[in-house]
Amino acid sequence: MKNKLNITIVGLGLIGGSLAASLKNVYGTKVSIVGIDNNARVLKQATQAGFFSEVSVLKKSKMIKKSTVVFVAAGIDSIPLLFEELGKIDFEKKIIISDVGSVKAKVFKQALKKLPTTFDFVGGHPIAGTEKTGFQNLVPGLFQGKPVFISGTRARKESVSFIKKIWKSLGSSVYSITPEEHDKIFAYLSHMPHVLAFGLNSLTRKNLSRSKIVKYGGTSYKDYSRISNSSEDLWSEIFLSNRKNLINGIKDFRKYLDKLENLLKHDSKDKIQKHLKS
Amino acid sequence: MKNKLNITIVGLGLIGGSLAASLKNVYGTKVSIVGIDNNARVLKQATQAGFFSEVSVLKKSKMIKKSTVVFVAAGIDSIPLLFEELGKIDFEKKIIISDVGSVKAKVFKQALKKLPTTFDFVGGHPIAGTEKTGFQNLVPGLFQGKPVFISGTRARKESVSFIKKIWKSLGSSVYSITPEEHDKIFAYLSHMPHVLAFGLNSLTRKNLSRSKIVKYGGTSYKDYSRISNSSEDLWSEIFLSNRKNLINGIKDFRKYLDKLENLLKHDSKDKIQKHLKS
Res A224: pLDDT: 87
Residue of A nearest to B235 (CA): A273
Among the partner-chain residues A192, A217, A252, the one whose CB lies closest to the CB of B189 is: A217
Q: CB contact, 8 Å: A237 with chain B?
A: yes
Contacts of A146 in chain B (CB under 8 A): 218
Of A189, A194, A200, the CB nearest to B217: A189
Contact B269, A236 (CB under 8 A): yes
Write down the pTM of the prediction: 0.87
Examine the pLDDT at A212 and tell me if it is beyond 80.
yes
Of B128, B147, B218, the CB nearest to A216: B147
Q: How many CB pairs under 8 A join A and B?
A: 214
Q: What is the SS3 assignment for A178? A: coil
Q: What is the pLDDT of residue B221?
A: 87
B143, amino acid identity: F
Is the CB of B236 less than 8 angstroms away from the CB of A272?
yes
Chain B residues close to A196, C-beta within 8 Å: 196, 199-200, 224
pLDDT < 50 regions, chain B: none
pLDDT recorded at residue A1: 53
Interface of B with A in 148-187 (CB under 8 A): 149, 173, 175, 184-186
Residue A42 sits at the chain B interface (C-beta within 8 Å)? no
For chain A, the first-to-last Cα distance in angstroms comes to 49
What are the boundaries of each domain within chain B? 5-177, 182-277
In a mutagenesis test of the B interface, which of A196, A245, A247, A255 is the best target, namely the one with the most B β-carbons within 10 Å?
A196
Q: Classify A172 as helix, strand or coil.
A: coil
Chain-chain contact of A189 with B208 (C-beta, under 8 angstroms): yes
Query: How many CB atoms sit inside 10 A of residue A156's CB?
Result: 13
Considering only CB atoms, which chain B residues are within 8 Å of A219?
Answer: 129-130
Contacts of B189 in chain A (CB under 8 A): 204, 208, 213, 216-218, 221
Which tens digit of pLDDT belongs to each residue from A154-183? 999 999 999 999 999 999 999 999 999 999
> Which 117-146 residues of chain B touch chain A by CB within 8 A?
127-130, 146
DSSP annotation of B230? S
- Taking a contact as any Cβ pair under 8 Å apart, which residues of chain B between 70 and 109 contact chain A? 77
B210 contacts chain A (CB < 8 A): no
Residue A221 pLDDT class (50, 70, 90 cuts): confident
Decide if A243 and B264 are in contact by the 8 Å CB cutoff. yes
Residue of A nearest to B229 (CA): A277
Nearest to A218 among B189, B216, B223 (CB): B189
**Residue of chain B whose alpha carbon sits nearest to that of A222:** B189
* The pLDDT value given to residue A50: 93
The residue of chain A nearest to residue B205, with distances taken between CA atoms, is A278
* Alpha carbon B258 to its chain's center: 32
Asked if CATH classification 3.40.50.720 holds for the domain at A5-177, the reply, yes or no, is yes
b/e map B148-164, b = 16+ CB within 10 Å? bbbbbbbbeeebbebbb
Would you state the pLDDT for residue A2? 60
Q: Does A48 touch chain B (CB under 8 A)?
A: no
DSSP at B275: H
For chain A, how are helix, strand and coil distributed in percent, rounded to 5? 55, 15, 30
Q: What is the pLDDT of residues A121-136, one digit of tens each?
A: 999 999 997 788 899 9
Of B207, B223, B256, the CB nearest to A202: B256
Which chain A residue lies closest to B185 (C-alpha atoms)? A208
pLDDT per residue as tens digits for the range B39-56: 999 999 999 999 999 999
Question: What is the average pLDDT value for chain A, to the nearest integer?
Answer: 94
Question: What one-character-per-residue DSSP string does B118-155 give?
Answer: TSEEEEEEES---S--SGGG--TTTTTT-EEEEEEEES
pLDDT per residue over A42-65, tens digit each? 999 999 999 999 999 999 999 999
Tell me, yes or no, if B231 comes closer than 8 A to chain A by beta carbon: no
Collect all residues of chain B within an 8 Å Cβ-Cβ radius of residue A150: none
Kindly provide the ipTM of the predicted complex, given to two decimals. 0.87
Give the minimum alpha-carbon distance from A151 to chain B in angstroms, rounded to a whole number: 14
* Closest alpha carbon within chain B to A238: B269
Q: A175, A216, A259, A273: which to substitute to probe chain B, counting the most B Cβ within 10 Å?
A: A216
Do A253 and B220 lie within an 8 Å CB cutoff? Answer: no
Tell me the C-alpha distance between B196 and A189, whole Å. Answer: 14
What are A78-113's pLDDT values in tens digits? Answer: 999 999 999 999 999 999 999 999 999 999 999 999
Q: Write out chain A residues lying below 8 Å of B129, CB-based.
A: 218-219
| pLDDT confidence tier of residue A278, bands split at 50, 70 and 90 | confident
Query: In whole angstroms, what is the distance from residue A14 CA to residue A138 CA?
Result: 5
**Residue of B190, B194, B210, B220 to mutate, interface with A, max A Cβ within 10 Å:** B220
Q: Which CATH class is domain A182-277?
A: mainly alpha
DSSP B14-42: HHHHHHHHHHHHHHGGGEEEEEE-S-HHH
Q: Residue B180 contacts by C-beta under 8 Å, 6 or more apart in sequence?
A: B105
Give CA–CA dist A83/B180, Å, rounded.
Answer: 57
